[in-house]
Amino acid sequence: MSDTATSRRRRLPLGDERGFTLVEVIVAAVLLAVLSTAALGILFAAQRSSVNDRNRVAATNLAARELDIVRQQFNASVDGPRRLADEGSVTNPHPLAGGTAGSPLVVDSVGYTVTRSSRWSLTGTGSSACEGGSLVRYPTLIVTTRVTWPNMGSVRPVTNSTVLAPTKASSLSTVASYVAVSVVDATGAGNAGIPVTVTSGSETRTGLTDTSGCATVPVTPPAGGAEYTVSLHAAGHVDVAGVAEPSKSVGTVQQGQLIAVTPMTYDRSGSLTVQVTGAGVTAEDVAGMELSIYSSQNTGSTSVVQQPLTGLTMQLTDLWPAKYGAYLGSTQPADLPLAEVPAGGAATLTVAYAFAQFTVTDAPPGGTVLAVPADDTSGCSSPRARTVDPTAGSLPPGNWSFFAQGAAFGCAQGPGDIPLEPGPNPALAWAASTLQLTNVPTGAGAIWAVSATAATGSCQVPSPASLAVELGDGTAAAVGPVPLPAGDWYVFAAPASGGGPAVGAACPSAGVVTVRYGYPTVQTWETPQVEVRVTGVALARYLVAAPSTISCQRLGSTYYYSYRVDGATQNRTDSWGSPSPTTRSSTTVTGNLPQGTWKIYEWSKSGWMGSCSFRGTVVVGVNGPLTLNGAGSNNSVGP
C-alpha cells in the first residue's frame, strides 16, 4: 500500500464511529415505554373482548339447549303445555352433567344462570296481551330464556324466545286468568328478559318479558277476584325514579279475565361522577354544600334534586339513563352543561367553584372577625370558625354567621345566617349595639363594663384599662346609651384606672348585663345579692351581719343598726338572728347579703342587751356562694 493511500485513510472523519448520546438513549427509552403501554392497552382490550365473546357464545348455547329441552317437554304429553305454563319462571331447571337443579351451570369455570319463563300469548284484538289482546280459547305458549354470568359489566344478557302451539286436545282448563305486564327501557322500546313477579294475598307467580317487553303471567284468583301487585327485580336496573325494585298495583283480577298493566319503565342503571374544580378550593370548602342535580327525565314535580357534597369528587349511582347536569347552590345557570348517562354506563361532569367575595363594615374595633357556618351554634369556639379579612372577605358560598373576638369583649355576636352567593356579594354591615343604665349610684366612682368572660368579680379595673369600657364618670344617675359589642358584661362602679379598690374588696355592681346584637339595651341598676354561708355557729346564738363601718355595739338605749345574714333589715334587739336558736338544728347558717364588706358577729341575747363576739369579715362581690368559717375569731372570705 502506498504512502498516499495510507495518508488518505488516516484523514477520514471519525463521526461515523461515534455511539448514541445519553439524551438520545433516554428519548428512545421513553418512546419505547409509550409504545409498549399503548400496545399493552390494545392487548388487554382485545383479551377482554375475547373473554366477553367466549362467554356470550357459551350463554347462547345454554339458551338454545334450554329451549330444545322445553320443546321435548311440550310435545311429550297432552298435559305438557299446561305444565310448562303453570311453572311460570324457573332458574337453572336443567343442570349439566354432575350439577344440581337450581345451581349455576358451569362451563370453562364460569357459572351461568339460566332463567326460563313460560306464558300464554293472548292475542285477540291486539298484537299482544300487553297491547289489549283478549283471552282466547286456544292461545300459543311463549317460552323465553335469559342467561347471565358473573362480571358482565355493561354486556347485555343473552335472551332467546320461541312460540309453541298446543293442539286443541291439550288440557288448558286450569289456566283461568292473566296479568299482562309491559316493560319498556329508556328509549321506549320493549325490554326483554326482565323478571316479573305478580302477587296477591295467597299467590305469587313469576315470568320473564319477551322480545317485545311483554310478560303474560297466569294467575288463579278465587271466586269474586283478588287484588294483585306486580313488581320488577333485575340486578343493576332501576325505574325512572331510581327505584331498584318498582311495584305497581294491578287492581282486582276476576276469574277468566286478562288485565294489561300500564307500561313500566325499567332499564340498566348508570352512574355519574361530579368533580368540583376551582382555584384554591379544598374538600373542606365544599363539605356540606348543596349540589343540585338536574335530570332530563323525572317522575316528580321537579327535575332538580339537592344533596350535600361530601368532597371534591362525588359519584352518583343507580341513575336512570338520561341527560344530567350539576351545579352548586340553588340558582341554575343559563348555560348548564349536560352529560349523557347511558344504560349500564357512566359519565363525568365538571362543576366550576367560585368563592363568595364580600366586605364587612362597622365591626367592633380591636377584634378579629370570624365566620361560622350558620348551622353551627358553637360561636367563636367552633372548630369550623374561619378568620375573615373585613376589607376583602372570601368564604365558600352558603349561609354564615359572623362574630367578633377581642380581649376587651370576648366573643361578640354579629350578623347571623347570612346567605353568600358565589362571586361578589353586597357589603355586610355590622349593626350597632348599645347599653343604657338607669338608677346608677352616684359618688361611688366611675362606671365600668368588663366582659363577663374576663371579670373576676373583684371590681378591679383591668390593667391595661383598654380591657374595660368606661361607661360614665359616676356623677349621673343615668349612663348612655354607650356603644358596646354584643355579649355579657359585668358592670360595676370603681375609681378610675390606676387607683381602684384592692383585689378582694367589694364595690357597687349591677352584676352581669346582656347586650343584644343590633338592639339598644336599657338596664336598671339593681345590686344583686350573693349567698353567704357561715359555719360553726353555736346553736344557742343568733348571727348578725353589720356593715363594715358599724360594730356590734349599743346605739342609744335599745336600737342597733344591723342586717341578719338572711338579708332582712332589723334594728330591734329582740328580733336579731336567723334562724332562731330555738328552732335551728344546724351549726351552719345560710342567707343572702348585698355587695359590700360585712362584719359577722355571734349574738347572745341576755336580758335586754346581750353580747356579741366577732367571727370574721365577708367581702361580697359578684360571685358566690361564699363560705366563712365562723368557728374562729378573725377569719375572712371574699370574691
Per-residue buried b or exposed e for 291-329, using 16+ beta carbons within 10 Å of the residue's own CB: bbbbbeebeeeeeeeeeebeebebebeebbbbebbbbbb
Other CB atoms within 10 A of residue 64 CB? 14
219, 221, 226, 229 alpha-carbon torsion, rounded to 10°? -10
Residue 215 confidence (pLDDT): 86
Q: What is the DSSP letter of 513?
A: E
Q: Would you say residue 349 has pLDDT above 60?
A: yes
The Cα 500–Cα 360 span in angstroms is: 38
Same domain, 180 and 83: yes
How far does CA 556 lie from the centroid of its chain? Answer: 76
By C-alpha distance, which of 424, 409, 496 is closest to 454? 409
Q: What is the CATH number of the domain that holds 489?
A: 2.60.40
> pTM value?
0.50
Contact 482, 436 (CB under 8 A): yes
| Contacts for 50 with CB less than 8 Å, ≥ 6 apart | none
Q: Please, where are the H alpha helices in 460-520? A: none
Top-confidence range, 38-42, 76-80, 205-209, 609-613 = 205-209
Q: Would you say residue 609 has pLDDT above 90?
A: no
The Cα 257–Cα 122 span in angstroms is: 11
Other CB atoms within 10 A of residue 39 CB? 10
Picking from 352, 373, 395, the residue at the C-terminal end of a domain is 352
Contact 501, 507 (CB under 8 A): yes
Is the pLDDT higher at 605 or at 212?
Answer: 212
Strand-pairing partners, residue 589, are 534
Range of the domain at 309: 270-352
Cell numbers placing 145: 330464556
Picking from 204, 233, 266, the residue at the C-terminal end of a domain is 266
Same domain, 163 and 242: yes
Contact 620, 598 (CB under 8 A): yes
Contact 314, 326 (CB under 8 A): no
Same domain, 159 and 275: no
Q: Which range, of 6-10, 383-387, 432-436, 525-529, averages the lowest pLDDT?
A: 6-10
The Cα 613–Cα 611 span in angstroms is: 7
Contact 595, 620 (CB under 8 A): yes
Same domain, 581 and 631: yes
pLDDT-above-90 percentage for the chain: 27
| Contacts for 175 with CB less than 8 Å, ≥ 6 apart | 82, 85, 86, 120, 218
The Cα 492–Cα 457 span in angstroms is: 9
Residue 166 confidence (pLDDT): 66
Mean pLDDT value of segment 458-477: 75
Is 406 among the domain residues? Answer: yes
Is 34 among the domain residues? Answer: no
Q: Would you say residue 428 has pLDDT above 90?
A: yes
Is the pLDDT higher at 32 or at 430?
Answer: 430
Q: Would you say residue 363 has pLDDT above 90?
A: yes
Q: Which range, of 170-179, 273-282, 344-353, 377-386, averages the lowest pLDDT?
A: 170-179
Mean pLDDT value of segment 459-480: 78
Q: What is the DSSP letter of 40?
A: H
Is 616 among the domain residues? Answer: yes
Contact 67, 118 (CB under 8 A): no
Residue 214 confidence (pLDDT): 86
Q: What is the DSSP letter of 57?
A: H
Residue 563 confidence (pLDDT): 41
Our count of domains for the chain comes to: 5
Residue 431 confidence (pLDDT): 95
- Strands 529-535 and 626-629, sheet pairing: parallel
Is 320 among the domain residues? Answer: yes
The Cα 560–Cα 553 span in angstroms is: 7
Look-up: residue for cell 335551728? 584
Mean pLDDT value of segment 43-52: 64
The Cα 38–Cα 50 span in angstroms is: 18
Contact 402, 388 (CB under 8 A): yes
pLDDT band for 44, please (50, 70, 90 cuts).
low
pLDDT band for 458, please (50, 70, 90 cuts).
low
Same domain, 135 and 276: no
Same domain, 62 and 138: yes
By C-alpha distance, which of 256, 209, 208, 259 is closest to 229? 259
Same domain, 418 and 285: no
Picking from 429, 454, 483, the residue at the C-terminal end of a domain is 429
Per-residue buried b or exposed e for 343-378, using 16+ beta carbons within 10 Å of the residue's own CB: bbeebebebebebbebbbeebbeebbbbbbbeeeee
Contact 126, 133 (CB under 8 A): yes
Residue 265 confidence (pLDDT): 94
Mean pLDDT value of segment 576-580: 45
Is the pLDDT higher at 103 or at 141?
Answer: 103
Q: What is the CATH number of the domain that holds 194?
A: 2.60.40.10
Q: Is 585 exposed, middle or buried (0-12, 13-18, 19+ CB in 10 A)?
A: exposed
pLDDT band for 457, please (50, 70, 90 cuts).
low
Q: How far apart are the first and last CA of the chain?
A: 122
pLDDT band for 467, please (50, 70, 90 cuts).
confident
224: left (phi over 0), alpha (psi -120 to 50) or beta: left
Q: Which range, of 215-224, 276-285, 604-613, averages the lowest pLDDT?
A: 604-613
- Strands 434-438 and 520-524, sheet pairing: parallel
Is the pLDDT higher at 288 or at 563?
Answer: 288
Is 30 among the domain residues? Answer: no
* DSSP assignment string, 414-451: ---SEEE-SEE---EE----EEEEESPPSSS-EEEEEE
Same domain, 153 and 262: yes
Angle at 361 between CA 355 and CA 364, to 5 degrees: 115
Residue 248 confidence (pLDDT): 94
Q: What is the DSSP letter of 552?
A: S
Is 619 among the domain residues? Answer: yes
How much is the mean pLDDT over the chain?
79
74 phi/psi in degrees, rounded to 5: -60, -40
Per-residue buried b or exposed e for 501-534, using 16+ beta carbons within 10 Å of the residue's own CB: beebbbbbbbbebebebeeebebebeeeebebbb
Q: Would you say residue 565 has pLDDT above 50?
A: no
Q: Would you say residue 600 has pLDDT above 50?
A: yes
72 phi/psi in degrees, rounded to 5: -65, -45
Same domain, 219 and 127: yes
Same domain, 147 and 170: yes
Same domain, 152 and 180: yes
Same domain, 228 and 300: no
Is the pLDDT higher at 492 or at 454?
Answer: 492
Q: What is the pLDDT of residues 211-250, one digit of tens each?
A: 888 888 888 898 889 999 999 999 899 999 889 999 999 9
pLDDT-above-70 percentage for the chain: 77
Q: What is the DSSP letter of 125?
A: S
Is 276 among the domain residues? Answer: yes
Is 608 among the domain residues? Answer: yes
Look-up: residue for cell 358482565? 152
Q: Is 396 exposed, middle or buried (0-12, 13-18, 19+ CB in 10 A)?
A: buried
Cell numbers placing 206: 313469576
Q: What is the DSSP letter of 355?
A: -
Q: Which range, of 274-288, 307-321, 352-366, 428-442, averages the lowest pLDDT?
A: 274-288
Q: What is the pLDDT of residues 49-68, one digit of tens each?
A: 677 888 888 989 998 888 88
pLDDT band for 46, please (50, 70, 90 cuts).
low
Q: Would you say residue 266 has pLDDT above 90?
A: yes
